[in-house]
Structure 1
Amino acid sequence: MADADPAFTKTQPADTAPVDTAPVERKSKRRKLLGGIAAAVLVAGAGYGGWYVLVGSHYVSTDNAYVGADTASVTPLVAAQVTEVRVGDTQRVRKGDILVQLDDSDARIAVAQAEADLAQARRQYGQTSATSAALAAQVGARDADIARARAQLVAAQADYDKARVDLDRRRKLAPAGAVSGDELTSATAAFSSARANLELARAGIAQANSTRGAATGQLAANNALINGTNVTNAPEVMVAQAKLAQAKLTLDRSVIRAPVDGIVTRRNVQVGQRVAPGTALMLIVPVDSLYVDANFKEAQLAKVKVGQPVSLTSDLYGGSVTYTGRVVGLSGGTGSSFALIPAQNATGNWIKVVQRVPVRVALDPKQLKDHPLRVGLSMDAEIDISGD
């Protein structure tokens, strides 16, 4: 057998091409990366959990908060024409500053009339007091009349008795002819005259008693008007004084003054305008006594109580200025319950909406003075509930 060709009988080497390890390295790097991310997440979660337990759970916060104020509405209490307006929008005023002057001509006349009525009432009281003295004197005079009438009655009674005795004597002597007819007639006439005078004296006493009774009644009626009173507390004088006080009050109300310190807003009154009681002339915003209404979610309110400290920041100044306040109250209901058109949840396709309750926060007046705010500005509020 012929020898094989060495070129063909030499053993061929195996395939020695290099193995591609890139996919394995990439998987390893991915596992390391995912492991690092997972570790970071766990660390972050643990850190957040620790922060929440130690710090975060002690606070509730919201950015749904706004500056508010109890604004004062300036309205007239009397109807009159405006003669002067001394302030304008954005102007700062102090309590008691004159804002608007109304025409006071009619009010001044009313004051003068009331003063005259008071003087007249005092004069009438003095006249009534003097009348009592005069009526007392009249009662004394009537007593004298009664005494005189009684004396006249005594005299008339004596004359009557004498005339009756004389008549009886003559009547007894007349049958014997000892007394003439003329003498008997004269005695009879004298007796009749004495009897008439007696009746007249008796009537005089009755009249004197009646006159005294009338004078006594007038005195009692007049005394009833002045007993227990003087020129200052007599009813008619007090009525006149009340009318004068009302007239002066109306005159004083013709000058409209600022009820509080603050800034004039929404001025809508002009000189020459006739205003009626209750007409809104302007608003005064007390910028030194503002508050914040922070609308917290219902799930945040479990531990919120009156008196807890609050930290606030305003969009006006940013985080560079922090206000400190305190919770002064929680609203009696959610914001939606007091809306003009409250939500009607009794429907077939009802969707639960997280409700918010307004929490009133009082601000520090000194901080407001250093960094003024305005009504309606946005605030961020954070309540420290750790004191629960």
Structure 2
Amino acid sequence: MADADPQIRNQASQAAPAAEAPAPALDAPAAKRGGMRKKLLGGIGALVLIGGVGYGAWYTLVGSHFIGTDNAYVGADTAAITPMLAAQVAEVAVSDTQAVRKGDVLVRLDDSDAKIAVAQAEADLARAQRQYGQTSATSAALAAQVQAREADITRARAQLTSAQADYERARVDLERRRRLAPNGAVSGEELSSATNAFATAQANLQLARAAIAQATSTRGAASGELAANNALIRGTTTATAPEVLAAQAKLAQARLDLQRTTIRAPMDGVITRRNVAVGQRVAPGTQLMLIVPVGQLYVDANFKEVQLTNVKVGQPVTLTSDLYGGDVEYHGRVVGLSGGTGSSFALIPAQNATGNWIKVVQRLPVRVALDPKELQAHPLRVGLSMDAEIDITAKN
């Protein structure tokens, strides 16, 4: 047994290596796969590192020079077409989506009342001109009256002189007869006649003095009327008289109202929101339609507040529209930044003083002017979405 045990141990020791010999053959694929995995992970890491370095270099050299947003929309300064006077619509010459040129007829209003107003204003002007002519002629007549009153005064003075002479003569004659009457040299009849003659001369003298006073007063009245009439026309002509100018202004207003019965396009554009029909009576200020100037559009790009540090007026902007896609680019320039964020001008502004306040990054509209030639080649419409990118390194 003692000899058997070594033998058994020898057999067992020989058998053991035979049993363990296949193990290296089984570990070789696993080791190979582990090496490949390490190489793959290393390659991916290298690619990520290269990508990170490349992105960092690109952002430093190129990406940091631009800011962009897709929160941008086409806008325009539309023209609201409204009548200037109340009238009935006689004709509507345009329809929605129709392109019009500046000066094209849009709407015609009934001009019957306006024509009557023009005729009335013309009559008022003619009347004012005639009245001015009459006033001028009245001045000449009043001047003649003043001269006539001067002649009356001269005649009254002559009559006064004659009356004074008759009075003195009658007085002297009466006194002489009174002295002779006691001696009987003068009869009572002669004394009575002398007394009556003196009384008559005295009355004639008073009448002559009254006539002078009356002639002087009449001349003063005529002179006052002449002065007042001259004040109305002094320094003026038929063309510059205030009454004539007022009548001319009314006539000009009436003619302007007549012209306003034909409503014309104030600019080139496209008709939209037409809400007027023939036979409708419109009032001043009633919106009849809108004109969108499609050749003068702009873009309001809403950038985040953290993007606006280096944005300046005049910087170039590259834009694309969802309508045409990325194949069509528009080029514009920054023309201004809004005076407030969109939320600050909202109908119901946010109340940040409440207890449940949460900070939200605000956006500020940036106005971008577009190239008219590019708009003509690829027309846009108000409200379309745009992507905008500003070169913040460019100098304006």
Query: The TM-score by the shorter chain falls in which range?
Result: over 0.9
Compared CA separation, residues 102 and 5, structure 1 to 2 (3 A): closer
Q: Percent identity at matched positions?
A: 74
- Taking structure 1 as reference, are residues 89 and 152 closer, same or farther at Cα in structure 2, changes over 3 Å only? same
In structure 2, the CA distance between the partners of 1:146 and 1:4, relative to structure 1 (3 Å rule), is closer
Give distance in 1, aligned partners of 2:279 and 2:353: 54
Pair 2,178 (structure 1): closer, same or farther in 2 beyond 3 Å: closer
Kindly state the Cα deviation for residue 339 of structure 1 after the two structures are TM-superposed. 1.3
Name which of 265, 280, 283 aligns with 1:276: 283
1:180 matched residue in structure 2: 187
Give the gaps of 5 or more residues in structure 2. Answer: none
Aligned to 2:167: 160
* Secondary structure at the counterpart of residue 338 of structure 1: coil
CA–CA separation in structure 1 for the residues paired with 2:76 and 2:201: 102
Question: 1:370-381 maps to which residues of 2 (within 5 A)?
Answer: 370-381=377-388
**Per-residue Cα deviation, 1:243-296 (whole angstroms, up to 9, x for no partner):** 111111111111111111100001111111111111111110000000000000
Consecutive unaligned residues of structure 1, counting only runs of 5 or more, are none
The C-alpha deviation readout for 1:115-134, integer Å capped at 9, x for no partner, is 01110110011001000000
> Hey, what's the Cα distance between the residues in 2 that align with 1:74 and 1:113?
29
Residue pair 2:76, 2:293 contacting (<8 A) in 1 also: yes
Q: State the TM-score, normalized to the length of structure 1.
A: 0.96
Q: Is 1:16 matched with 2:21?
A: yes
Query: What is the DSSP-based 3-state SS (H/G/I as helix, E as strand, rest coil) of the residue aligned with 2:389?
Result: strand
Query: Does 1:124 find its partner at 2:121?
Result: no
1:176-206 deviation per Cα after TM superposition (whole angstroms, max 9, x unaligned): 2221111111111111111110000000000
Greater displacement, 174-183 / 53-62: 174-183
| 1:316 aligned onto 2:323 | yes
Q: Residues 211 and 382 from structure 1, CA distance in 2 versus in 1: closer, same or farther, beyond 3 angstroms?
A: same
- CA gap 1:294/1:199 in 2 versus in 1, 3 angstroms: same
* Alignment partner of 1:237 is 2:227: no
What CA distance in whole angstroms lies between the structure 2 residues aligned with 1:333 and 1:345? 16
Match of 1:341 among 328, 344, 348: 348
Q: Which amino acid aligns with 1:270?
A: A
Aligned length: 388
Secondary structure of the corresponding residue to residue 121 of structure 1: helix
Q: Which has the larger displacement, 41-50 or 113-122?
A: 41-50
Distance 2:224 2:42 in 1: 119
Residue 65 in 1 paired to residue 72 in 2? yes
Whether the 8 Å CA contact 2:316–2:394 is kept in 1: the answer is no
Separation (CA, whole Å) in 1 of partners of 2:234 and 2:210: 35
Is the counterpart of residue 357 in structure 1 residue 394 in structure 2? Answer: no
Q: CA deviation at 1:59?
A: 0.7
Do structure 1's residue 107 and structure 2's residue 118 form an aligned pair? no
Match of 1:296 among 286, 295, 303: 303
Letter in 1 for 2:21: T
Whole-Å separation in 1 of the counterparts to 2:10 and 2:311: 94
Deviation at 1:343, TM superposition (A): 1.7
Separation (CA, whole Å) in 2 of partners of 1:3 and 1:61: 93
Matched letter for residue 140 of structure 2: A
Distance in 2 separating the partners of 1:289 and 1:257? 19
Task: Say yes or no: does 1:56 pair with 2:63.
Answer: yes
Task: Name the SS for the 1:386 alignment partner.
Answer: coil
Q: Which residue of 2 aligns with 1:382?
A: 389
2:233 is matched by which residue type in structure 1?
I
Q: Which residue number in structure 2 is paired with residue 169 of structure 1? A: 176
TM-score, normalisation: structure 2: 0.94
Q: Deviations over 1:195-224 (max 9, x none)?
A: 110000000000000110111111111111
Tell me what 1:44 maps to. Answer: 51
Cα pair distance change 1:160/1:5, threshold 3 Å: closer
Give the distance between the partners of 2:191 and 2:3, measured in 1 at CA. 231
Tell me the distance in 1 between the aligned counterparts of 2:8 and 2:185: 230
Q: 2: CA distance between counterparts of 1:9 and 1:342? A: 95
Deviation at 1:314? 0.9
User: What is residue 205 of structure 1 aligned with on the other side?
Assistant: 212
> What's the RMSD between the two structures over aligned residues?
1.8
* Structure 2 residue 270 is matched with structure 1 residue 247: no
